Structure 1
Amino acid sequence: MHISRRFPMFPEPAVSAPSMKGSSTAVNHKVLIIEDDRDIAKLVEMHVTDLGCKCDVAHDGEVGLEKALKNTYNLIILDLMLPGVDGFELRARLVAGIRRFLDERGYLEVETPMMHTLAGGATARPFVTHHNALGLDLYLRVAPELFLKRLLVGGLERVYEINRNFRNEGISTQHNPEFTMLEFYQAYATYRDLMDLTEEMFGRLADELKGARRISYQGRELSLEAPFRRASVQELVAEAFAVEAGSLDDPERLRALAREHRISVDSAWGAGRLLMTLFEERVEKTLWQPTFVCDFPLEVSPLSRRKEDRPELVDRFELYVAGRELCNAFSELNDPDDQRQRFVEQMKQKARGDEEAMPHDEDYIRALEVGMPPAAGEGIGIDRLVMLFADAPSIRDVILFPLLRPES
């Protein structure tokens, strides 16, 4: 399958299908045209049908993605020219800007393994591969977190990595199974320190890439001026469902809310998982302006440090901008006994059928027993961040070679 890009400076759409022209098999070729301008789409369709090809047309990127996943096409013609600055040039500038920002603050860029013996560091379903020489199944990494924290144990106090993660999950306008992630860790810092650092980083990127901290995304304005809003998960859920925040500690009350609003939940889930499901279903998409969502339940945060005053919660935040999560950060759990018990709970969840539960990583616990300093760490999805600054509606618009269904 071939993907052709059409750029506005060309007088006519560049349909890169010379092998089809005059071919006796051209009628068997199937072409998908993704273009929001209906006049241009009609012109391209006319050119392609003149070649004897069958055409599908989508005037919306999400519809086009759905068609591309459900069907096999010999050629996909789409416009990858993003507003203002070419998205891929912008992407390179954004990554370079992040590196400068962290390097200036004494962080060391490192590389950690891409193949793991255990799929740890995040609650996600992994891709499995096999090492022939060792006769061993391995997992493409879902996150580099546990290896980066081993470097804190080894004495490196500020480290970061920009590299690929792989999660064997759904494909959508916000998710690609192979994606680029920044993760950085700082000894003797807390998650609140990382809030300040994140505000500073986003403001500087806005200055460098857009020349202003008030930007437009998909026709709506948002401000990257500090300080960003800070709100707890309970506070936001209570606001969305018009209930008292204090009632959201009760799992039966949470199940009743889910039933009332026709939100599917599992009977085995505790209050923390139920609360986060209500948040994901009703709150996430409403958070347009930058918002640090704080005070996550312990139940869904197996690597985070407990809050001293409320041990059922953890010192963690996620940053939401334009209705989607961009960052996840927390003060790190460095108590090996507590971490071992968290892994035990994760294995119980896995035994109940949770494919995303973390495995028990005894090697990582041994590293904690050596001694990890108090620290905080953060992950930022590079692809989603590029979407924001490039004003791109789909993650596939900012990935050069997104995964598509191959020809059979």
Structure 2
Amino acid sequence: MTEQEMDLNELMIERRKKLENLKEAGIEPYSNDFIRTHSIAEVLGNFEELEAEEKEVKIAGRVMALRDHGKSSFADLVDLSEKIQLYAKKNEVGEKAYDLFTDLNIGDHIGVEGTLFETGRGEITLRIKEFKLLTKSLRPLPEKWHGLKDVELRYRQRYVDLIVNPDVKQTFILRSRIIHGMRQYLEQKDFLEVQTPLMHPIAGGAAANPFITHHNALDIDLYLRIAPELYLKRLLVGGFEKVFEIGKNMRNEGLSRRHNPEFTTLELYQAYADYEDIMNTTEELIKTVAKNVLDDLEIKYNDHEINLNNWTRMTMIEAVKEHVGVDFNNVSNLDEAKSLADEKHLDYESKTSIGEIINEFFEEFVEEKLIQPTFITQYPVEVSPLAKRNPDNPAFTDRFELFIAGDEIANAFSELNDPIDQKERFEQQVEQREAGDDEAHMMDQDFIRALEYGMPPAGGLGIGVDRLVMLLTSSESIREVILFPHLRSENQ
């Protein structure tokens, strides 16, 4: 056992003794009969009026600091909204209550009734008339013994992270406001929010490796959702014209700064629209949310100054030419593409088309250089099995991805609504899957059947909500914006 663990054990033993003493004295350590009249922020915001009227207020929160001065003591009380100083005087609250107050621990929850005053240093303070213990904390907060500096420990014990790191709490408040802003924007544009299944009989809607589960009553394997796309498109077939869903997807893939097995997306589909309409919607949505939440369109993300007023659009071939110096407009066959890949020491062993090699160039050499908001359009058809072909150049699709600060934020396209073309592309994906590509799409016969009934021309969009929150909160890792990210077992 380490010295830190020994110290922790001693402190926990001491707190449990206090708990037993409270019970023996007839004091309920987990009371639930205190009703507060104000949040701390409301008290601070209305201080002058409350002080002038000498009005008694009732507030509640967690004790975060204690300062004993003999016959008087101070404490800091924190709730979700703010922090306030408490003042207890022995001859005002009584000896028994005063002893109980000075015996509190940091981390205890209390309810306090009293009046407000301002100290000589100008600090708004609540003079305690009465107080009640609401929750006895049995485990000391990390800052009391070694500090919560271990990043993985912060994620694993997020509840403690939120207590001792106010900036973390603010990040998740902003996350909530960002999601609310996205929903509000879409509802104002007459989009209908829907909910589609989280368990699918066929994994589809994205190229990804799914989690598999088993339904006992039906005796069938099901896949946890990797994307809601194919179900949302079925709704377009059914007659809905503007739909969106904000929800969780699960993919059985690795962990990284940008990836968590369980993540949140916004997906929307709009009938009688194309990818350019969706591009305009994407830009307007992000700018609106950023303006409402941050009140600014110029933001700092890591070492980058991002200007959300400046948006660039270029094709994938244009981006590769600009950033790599290779012009695939002049490439006419696969051998030429492989030769260019050899020159750049790019692995193309599993690539069987020019389009796949172009995409490999882009992912390897271009993505990380796209700092300012950039829409990359015209993706090769081989890497876009659900997107509509470009009418002028059928080797490419009317698709875009949005990159900001080198990260992919959104993916969208004019939706493929030709059931014959869609079936052929699924068949190609099945061949790739049989050849060993676990992330290739499966054949979804019911989706083909839905398209045969007729899906209107449409544009669709998927936004990685977690990545957008990372950007707008200047968070370096996706784990910083997911309340409970997945981690290895504590015993590993």
TM score, norm. by length of structure 2: 0.68
CA deviation after TM superposition for structure 1 residue 218, in Å? 1.1
CA deviation after TM superposition for structure 1 residue 375, in Å? 0.4
SS at match of 1:407: coil
Q: Any residues of structure 2 matched to 1:185-334 within 5 Å, and which?
A: 185-225=269-309, 228-248=311-331, 250-334=333-417
Q: Conserved in 2, the CA contact under 8 Å of 1:224 and 1:290?
A: yes
SS at match of 1:283: helix
Indicate yes or no: 2:190 matched with 1:106: yes
Q: Distance in 1 between matches of 2:7 and 2:386?
A: 54
Aligned residue type for 1:152: L
Indicate yes or no: 2:258 matched with 1:164: no
Q: What is the aligned length?
A: 359
CA deviation after TM superposition for structure 1 residue 241, in Å? 2.1
CA deviation after TM superposition for structure 1 residue 74, in Å? 9.5
Aligned residue type for 1:253: E
CA deviation after TM superposition for structure 1 residue 138, in Å? 0.4
Aligned residue type for 1:371: G
CA deviation after TM superposition for structure 1 residue 256, in Å? 2.6
Q: Any residues of structure 2 matched to 1:81-160 within 5 Å, and which?
A: 81=165, 86-160=170-244
Q: Conserved in 1, the CA contact under 8 Å of 2:409 and 2:464?
A: yes
Bigger mean CA offset, 267-276 vs 313-322: 267-276
The aligned counterpart of 2:463 is 380
CA deviation after TM superposition for structure 1 residue 216, in Å? 1.1
Q: Distance in 1 between matches of 2:264 and 2:304?
A: 26
CA deviation after TM superposition for structure 1 residue 273, in Å? 1.4
CA deviation profile, 1:150-189 (whole Å, cap 9, x unmatched): 0000000000000000011110010000000000000000
CA deviation profile, 1:27-56 (whole Å, cap 9, x unmatched): xxxxxxxxxxxxxxxxx899449xxxxx9x
Q: Distance in 2 between matches of 1:250 and 1:363?
A: 36
Q: Residues 244 and 81 from structure 1, CA distance in 2 versus in 1: closer, same or farther, beyond 3 angstroms?
A: same
CA deviation after TM superposition for structure 1 residue 269, in Å? 2.5
Q: Any unmatched runs of 5+ in structure 2?
A: 14-141
Q: Conserved in 2, the CA contact under 8 Å of 1:189 and 1:376?
A: yes
SS at match of 2:409: strand
Q: Residues 16 and 78 from structure 1, CA distance in 2 versus in 1: closer, same or farther, beyond 3 angstroms?
A: farther
The aligned counterpart of 1:40 is none
Q: Conserved in 2, the CA contact under 8 Å of 1:330 and 1:377?
A: yes
Q: Residues 75 and 88 from structure 1, CA distance in 2 versus in 1: closer, same or farther, beyond 3 angstroms?
A: closer
CA deviation after TM superposition for structure 1 residue 384, in Å? 0.3
CA deviation profile, 1:163-220 (whole Å, cap 9, x unmatched): 0000111100100000000000000000000111111111111211111111111132
Q: Distance in 1 between matches of 2:377 and 2:486?
A: 34
CA deviation profile, 1:303-358 (whole Å, cap 9, x unmatched): 10011010010000000001000000000111111111011111111111111110
Q: Distance in 2 between matches of 1:353 and 1:379?
A: 27
Q: Any unmatched runs of 5+ in structure 1?
A: 1-14, 25-43, 50-54, 59-63
SS at match of 2:213: strand
Aligned residue type for 2:341: A
CA deviation profile, 1:97-118 (whole Å, cap 9, x unmatched): 0111000011000000000000
Q: Conserved in 1, the CA contact under 8 Å of 2:328 and 2:358?
A: no
Q: Distance in 2 between matches of 1:337 and 1:267?
A: 27
Q: Conserved in 2, the CA contact under 8 Å of 1:331 and 1:376?
A: yes
Q: Conserved in 2, the CA contact under 8 Å of 1:82 and 1:390?
A: no
SS at match of 1:129: strand
Segments ≥4 residues shifted beyond 2 Å: 15-24, 44-49, 73-85, 247-269
Greater relative contact order (Cα < 8 A, sep 6+): 1
Q: Conserved in 2, the CA contact under 8 Å of 1:83 and 1:391?
A: no
TM score, norm. by length of structure 1: 0.81
Q: Conserved in 1, the CA contact under 8 Å of 2:479 and 2:485?
A: yes
Alignment RMSD (CA, Å): 2.9
SS at match of 1:264: coil
Aligned residue type for 1:120: G
Q: Distance in 1 between matches of 2:5 and 2:296?
A: 38
Q: Conserved in 2, the CA contact under 8 Å of 1:158 and 1:187?
A: yes
Q: Conserved in 1, the CA contact under 8 Å of 2:249 and 2:263?
A: yes
CA deviation profile, 1:364-399 (whole Å, cap 9, x unmatched): 000001010000100000000000000000000000
Q: Conserved in 2, the CA contact under 8 Å of 1:112 and 1:144?
A: yes
Q: Residues 18 and 138 from structure 1, CA distance in 2 versus in 1: closer, same or farther, beyond 3 angstroms?
A: farther
Q: Distance in 1 between matches of 2:362 and 2:385?
A: 19
Q: Distance in 1 between matches of 2:357 and 2:190?
A: 40
Indicate yes or no: 2:257 matched with 1:173: yes
Aligned residue type for 2:283: E
CA deviation after TM superposition for structure 1 residue 363, in Å? 0.4
Which protein is bigger by CA-based radius of gyration? 2
CA deviation after TM superposition for structure 1 residue 263, in Å? 2.6
The aligned counterpart of 2:90 is none
